[in-house]
A and B are shown apart, each in its own frame.
Chain A
Amino acid sequence: MSKMNEGVFVRPRWDDKTVDQRFAFLMDYGYWTGAEVVNYAHNKDLIVHELNEDRAIRNELKNFLDYCDPVFFFHFSHGGPDTLTGQDMSVLICSNNFSENGNSFSPNDILLRDRVVYTLSCLSASELGRKAVEDGCIAYIGYKDPLWAVTIEGFDTDYALFDIWTGGAKALIDGKTTEEVYYWLKRRYKFWISYWEIIDGTNSINAWKAPVMIMALEKNLKGLAILGDLNAKIKIDD
């Protein structure tokens, strides 16, 4: 039985893809988002464990989970249908056998057993999430399609995605069920889509951003997935 009111936050960061706007690299957006969730978790008295940057690797994660056993698993990095990545795009968790640069990795999605997963990454809910739930993961909130970030700087552009992505994790930390979080996320995506539909077609100097935002928001909304127990929580009710 994993420990309630406790979470591990896996937050790799490396120079992945040049963006050169609010941040230099795409992974910086993930790190920014994760930092907000970690701060919130501290303020809400969740027991926080962090595996950041060089510690966000497969062996460290295994060793950590052998020692601590938190119910909440937060992750923000690149992903594929059967993979969540760690530092420098290394294979952190996979649900199939994997070979890369002469190394082979066997499936380790069992590490997610007895946990509630909230991952911000591409595609992993399509295969890995499904397999993890079959193998005992309590619930998996992630994306079955690519996860898109708009990197235009602004409170209603890159910050809108920050608002959605952090908000879902914060709701779990607040004690909401996975189903409540899933519908909160859907409502928030829809709110921002409506916001940009209002700006579209106006003579606002921001109107050019509308199709970019609407495309990303709609794609992310379509890809959002919840698997496993809809009534799962990471906090014991007070």
Chain B
Amino acid sequence: MLDIEKLSKLAEEWYKTVPEDMKNKVIVSNFSIKPMSFTPKQIMGKIGSAARKSKTREEFLKESGLCAEFLETLEKMYIRRTKMEKKEGRKS
């Protein structure tokens, strides 16, 4: 499991790849009675603020609220990519 610094870095790297014209657009939303929606900029804002307030990974994820699931997805994808790269490395 990755620490706060590494998770934040993954999020920052992701944000750099988001096209400029999409950074302030709603990209994800839900159909609850109090609907939540996020732009990439809002996701990063929430993650940045959570990182400043937290000392442990658990605190960080809790503070990130719904963005925690986004961080966990980034983490899972990172681990998957790393495993695949290792596998490819062994083959070549």
Q: Do A and B bind each other?
A: yes
The residue that A212 contacts in the complex, of B19, B28, B33, B36, with Cβ under 8 A, is: B28
Distance of A34 from chain B, by nearest CB (Å): 13
> In the docked arrangement, what's the CA distance between A208 and B22, Å?
11
CB <8 Å contact, B77 and A147: no
Distance of B11 from chain A, by nearest CB (Å): 9
Q: With an 8 A cutoff between CB atoms, is A112 at the interface?
A: no
Which of A36-44, A45-53, A54-62, A119-127 is the interface stretch?
A119-127
Which of B1-9, B52-60, B68-76 is the interface stretch?
B68-76
A: contact size bracket: 35 or more
CB <8 Å contact, A215 and B69: yes
CB <8 Å contact, A216 and B26: no
CB <8 Å contact, A78 and B69: no
The residue that B33 contacts in the complex, of A83, A150, A151, A200, with Cβ under 8 A, is: A83
> In the docked arrangement, what's the CA distance between A149 and B36, Å?
10
Contact status of A150 and B17, CB under 8 A, knowing A79-B33, A200-B81: no
Size of interface on B: residues with Cβ below 8 Å to A = 25
Contact status of A80 and B80, CB under 8 A, knowing A17-B37, A208-B14, A219-B69: no
Distance of A212 from chain B, by nearest CB (Å): 6
A interface, by DSSP: helix, strand, loop or mixed?
mixed
Distance of A80 from chain B, by nearest CB (Å): 4
Q: Chain A 10-21 against B: per-residue CB contact (8 Å), 1 yes, 0 no?
A: 000000111111
Contact status of A149 and B31, CB under 8 A, knowing A208-B18, A215-B69, A219-B69: yes
Residue on A with the closest CB to B30? A146
Residue on A with the closest CB to B15? A208
Chain B residues in 8 Å Cβ range of A148: 28-30
CB <8 Å contact, B14 and A216: no
Chain A residues in 8 Å Cβ range of B62: none
> In the docked arrangement, what's the CA distance between A150 and B70, Å?
13
> In the docked arrangement, what's the CA distance between A20 and B18, Å?
17
CB <8 Å contact, A80 and B77: no
Distance of A11 from chain B, by nearest CB (Å): 13
Chain A residues in 8 Å Cβ range of B73: 211, 214-215, 218
Q: With an 8 A cutoff between CB atoms, is A71 at the interface?
A: no
Distance of A55 from chain B, by nearest CB (Å): 20
CB <8 Å contact, B32 and A78: yes
CB <8 Å contact, A150 and B19: no
Q: With an 8 A cutoff between CB atoms, is A207 at the interface?
A: yes
Can you list 28 residue pairs at the A/B interface with Cβ under 8 Å? Answer: A16-B35, A19-B29, A20-B25, A26-B29, A26-B31, A26-B37, A30-B31, A80-B33, A120-B31, A123-B32, A146-B36, A149-B29, A150-B28, A151-B27, A151-B28, A151-B29, A197-B77, A197-B80, A200-B81, A201-B81, A201-B84, A208-B14, A208-B17, A211-B77, A212-B70, A214-B73, A214-B77, A218-B73
Binding site for A on B (CB under 8 A): 14, 17-19, 22, 25-33, 35-37, 69-70, 73-74, 77, 80-81, 84
